[in-house]
A and B are shown apart, each in its own frame.
Chain A
Amino acid sequence: MKKLAILSAAFIALCSFVSTGYNVGDKAMDFKLKNVDGKMISMSDYPNAKGFIVVFTCNHCPFAKAYENRIIALNNMYAPKGYYVIAINPNDPTQVDEDSYANMQVRAKAKNYAFPYVIDETQEVAHAFGAAHTPHVFVLQKSGKDYIVKYIGAIDDNSDSETAVKQKYVEDAVNNLLAGKLVNPASTKAIGCGIKWKS
């Protein structure tokens, strides 16, 4: 019996070790990251939020650039309804200078971001979420003090042409959450720039 307990403890330890971020249904941890204005941002700073559209994105990636206006539009559309966009740059700027904090400030100012664009310097948040590439979206629903992951994946089905989009995954997800419906699909995949991890 003792053996079994040790074995199962070892198994659980192993599982948590190989875990690669959140799945749909998991609780997401809050974070504290530096915004382009120098202030620290956490989800707990939004007491009236119904949820969040957390977007791992960056300056340099062509896919992130292609989606920039769509990310701005998501915030314009859903912040008034209680779902706030938080954009997180997880890239190691020593590998891509375009993704430096100073260049993030330039980008946010040039496009008048009305949402936080924060830097994940230690990459701990990207690791915790299981973000793999940019852009990579996690829609979270606030439930009491918890933030439940409701959707993981792409913004829509066409990075190349906004006008050719057939399925707006994130919009559909948030609309369904606002209407108290199930999110379907709850996860999708897209081609993107791999996150520049520190070695």
Chain B
Amino acid sequence: MRYTKLGFILFLFPLLISGNKVIVVNFEQLQSYAMHKTNDTLYVMNFWATWCDPCVKELPAFQAEYKKYANRKVKFIFVSMNSVRELTKVQNFTDNQKLGGQLLLLNGGNPNDWIDKVDSSWSGSIPATIMYKSGKKVYFREGEFTSESLEKIIQSKK
């Protein structure tokens, strides 16, 4: 009996310590996570990569907001720009960081085909953050946030 219990705990253990699963999507699938949502939730979509220092630097600010707005009408989507070959690396990173929210890795083919569809002012540099509400784009920024500047924008857009 004791062993069964121990086995059960050991079975659950990896589930408890690991974070959310990173899902590989194409651009059409990505759009269904936020751009095509017509409810009144604010969707905050952050484009990042493990190799991008300013992206990694601003992730804690996003995590703080994610925790603050849990169970409220603000959802966070983190879109990794890493190569699909680095999926394990990305998963390990997000597990170590205990990154919450919806985790995606965009395997989008030619970026020239979709960068303008995200925002025509986007040069392609990351980090970049876009916010949608009721199926409409309400905010776009190329560049990093501080905790204060991110909170201010979410407060004004939610």
Residues on A lying within 8 angstroms of B by beta carbon are 61-62, 96, 132-133, 153-154, 157-158, 160, 166-167, 185, 188-195
Write the nearest CB–CB distance from B142 to chain A, whole angstroms.
8
The CA-CA distance from A185 to B113 in the complex, in Å, is 12
Q: Are B126 and A189 in contact (CB under 8 A)?
A: no
Q: Are A157 and B112 in contact (CB under 8 A)?
A: yes
Main secondary structure on chain A at its contact with chain B? loop
Given contacts A132-B123, A133-B125, A189 and B52 within 8 Å (CB-CB): no
Contact of B110 among A132, A167, A193 (CB under 8 A): A167
**Is B9's CB within 8 Å of the partner chain A?**
no
Extra 5 A-B pairs, beta carbons < 8 Å, given A190-B112, A190-B124: A62-B51, A189-B122, A193-B51, A193-B125, A193-B126
Q: Are A133 and B123 in contact (CB under 8 A)?
A: yes
Given contacts A160-B83, A160-B85, A192 and B124 within 8 Å (CB-CB): yes
Q: Are B124 and A191 in contact (CB under 8 A)?
A: yes
Contacts of A194 in B (CB 8 A): 54, 125-127, 142-143
Contacts of A191 in B (CB 8 A): 81, 111, 115, 124-126
Given contacts A153-B112, A160-B83, A167-B110, A189 and B124 within 8 Å (CB-CB): yes
Q: Are B110 and A157 in contact (CB under 8 A)?
A: yes
The CA-CA distance from A195 to B124 in the complex, in Å, is 11
Q: Are B111 and A193 in contact (CB under 8 A)?
A: no
Q: Are A189 and B83 in contact (CB under 8 A)?
A: no
The 5 closest A-B pairs by CB, nearest first: A194-B125, A132-B123, A157-B110, A189-B115, A133-B125
| Interface residues as binary, B103-127 with A (CB distance below 8 Å gives 1, 0 otherwise) | 0000001111001100000111111
Q: Are B125 and A132 in contact (CB under 8 A)?
A: yes
Contacts of A158 in B (CB 8 A): 110
Contacts of A132 in B (CB 8 A): 123-125
The CA-CA distance from A160 to B81 in the complex, in Å, is 11
Q: Are B112 and A189 in contact (CB under 8 A)?
A: yes
Contacts of B53 in A (CB 8 A): 96
Write the nearest CB–CB distance from B91 to chain A, whole angstroms.
18
Contacts of A192 in B (CB 8 A): 124-125
Residue of B nearest to A96 (CB): B53
Contacts of A188 in B (CB 8 A): 112
The CA-CA distance from A193 to B112 in the complex, in Å, is 16
Contacts of A160 in B (CB 8 A): 83-85
| Interface residues as binary, B29-64 with A (CB distance below 8 Å gives 1, 0 otherwise) | 000000000000000000000011110000000000
A-B contact pairs, 19 of them (CB 8 A): A132-B123, A132-B125, A133-B123, A133-B124, A153-B112, A154-B112, A157-B112, A158-B110, A160-B85, A167-B110, A189-B112, A190-B115, A190-B124, A191-B81, A191-B115, A191-B126, A192-B124, A193-B52, A195-B125
